[in-house]
């Protein structure tokens, strides 16, 4: 098997001072990438800051024979994000990839949600993803090449005990799928990954029970961050074959996560969609047989355009078609 290498590539990794971000940064450097290690160095709930975590990772990479520079910039601001890209350009002359792992978390629910906390979490997660992508985009567009991997979380599927965090991850999901479409003509591929590993976030009080369900099954043991680093690293490699996709990764499994739309209920061009029809045909609305994976908002509702037995086919971006449910 040919070794996957990143020789000559420059990759920015945010949130790289600890946990998954650090594991990704060290793996990329070990495989030949020149890495910008960005980490604000604060607590898991976003308090404080320090240059030390980023410096420590850079020291480890350099000691192992790799090349890296440190950044403690706050990527939640436009100025901070641009300074990270400026570091890459000043040190290595280009930027080819971005792995965005930076984030904070504070448990909350609909009953105790604070608007300021909601805004703080979104500023780092959504704001940081947007600011970093915007900062690298013109350079990738100009060189006709780029790879971006944005971290989300299982929380985007719904996490009533970490509501602000879950909502932010959902925002990144939509953002990543949207910009993936914009990058297709410039060989800029944007994908999302949902890692599951033992990190500081898992250990924060209240986060482990963020599902908010007293009947939740016992949680499985989490993998070490190093065991999930291969997937996000691959997503910023030349050979990654897809864009606009989302993947989960644990220590032993990688899987695609996708949005599906059922064939649903269609009353035809001469029918009337009234309350009684919706109620009577609810099983058809829910039936997943033959479901499609819409590319973007332009594909939403494509199956409602069918006439009689004719069905409009919908293909998943970069995948060549969606699986039947």
Residues with catalytic roles: 165
CB 317 within 8 A of CB 296: yes
Cross-sheet strand order for the sheet of 67-71: 67-71, 34-38, 10-14, 97-100, 146-151, 188-195, 246-249, 254-257
CA dihedral 216, 221, 226, 227 (to 10 degrees): -90
Q: Measured in whole angstroms, how far is the alpha carbon of residue 113 from the centre of its chain?
A: 24
What are the φ/ψ torsions at residue 275 (nearest 5 degrees)? -60, -45
Cα–Cα distance measured from residue 80 to residue 78, given in angstroms and rounded to the nearest whole number: 5
User: Which ranges in the chain belong to alpha helices (H)?
Assistant: 19-30, 52-63, 78-92, 115-143, 163-182, 200-203, 230-234, 275-280, 282-286
DSSP annotation string for 292-324: B---SGGGTTGGGG-BTTB------TTTTSPPP
CB 171 within 8 A of CB 164: no
């Amino acid at each position: 098997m040919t070794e996957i290498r990143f020789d000559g590539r420059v990759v920015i990794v945010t949130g790289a001072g600890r946990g998954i971000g650090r594991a990704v940064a060290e793996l990329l450097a070990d495989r030949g990438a020149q890495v910008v290690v960005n980490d604000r160095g604060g607590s898991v709930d976003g308090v404080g800051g320090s240059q030390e975590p980023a410096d420590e990772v850079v020291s480890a990479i350099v000691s192992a024979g790799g090349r890296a520079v440190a950044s403690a910039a706050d990527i939640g601001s436009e100025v901070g994000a641009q300074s990270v890209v400026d570091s890459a350009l000043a040190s290595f002359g280009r930027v080819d990839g971005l792995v965005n792992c930076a984030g904070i978390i504070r448990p909350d629910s609909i009953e105790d949600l604070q608007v300021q906390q909601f805004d703080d979490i979104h500023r780092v997660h959504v704001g940081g993803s947007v600011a970093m992508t915007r900062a690298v985009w013109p350079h990738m567009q100009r060189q006709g090449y780029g790879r971006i991997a944005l971290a989300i979380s299982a929380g985007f599927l719904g996490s009533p005990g970490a509501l602000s965090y879950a909502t932010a991850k959902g925002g990144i999901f939509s953002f990543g799928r949207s910009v993936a479409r914009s990058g297709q003509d410039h060989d800029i591929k944007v994908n999302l990954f949902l890692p599951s590993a033992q990190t500081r976030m898992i250990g924060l009080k209240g986060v482990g029970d963020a599902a908010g369900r007293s009947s939740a099954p016992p949680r499985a043991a989490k993998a070490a961050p190093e065991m999930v680093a291969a997937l996000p690293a691959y997503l910023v490699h030349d050979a990654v074959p897809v864009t606009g996709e989302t993947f989960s990764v644990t220590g032993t499994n990688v899987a695609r996560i996708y949005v599906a739309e059922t064939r649903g209920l269609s009353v035809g061009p001469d029918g009337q969609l009234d309350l009684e029809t919706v109620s009577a045909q609810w099983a058809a609305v829910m039936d997943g047989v033959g479901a499609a994976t819409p590319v973007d908002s332009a594909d939403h509702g494509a199956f409602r355009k069918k006439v009689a037995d004719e069905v409009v086919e919908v293909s998943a971006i970069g995948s060549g078609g969606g699986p039947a449910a």
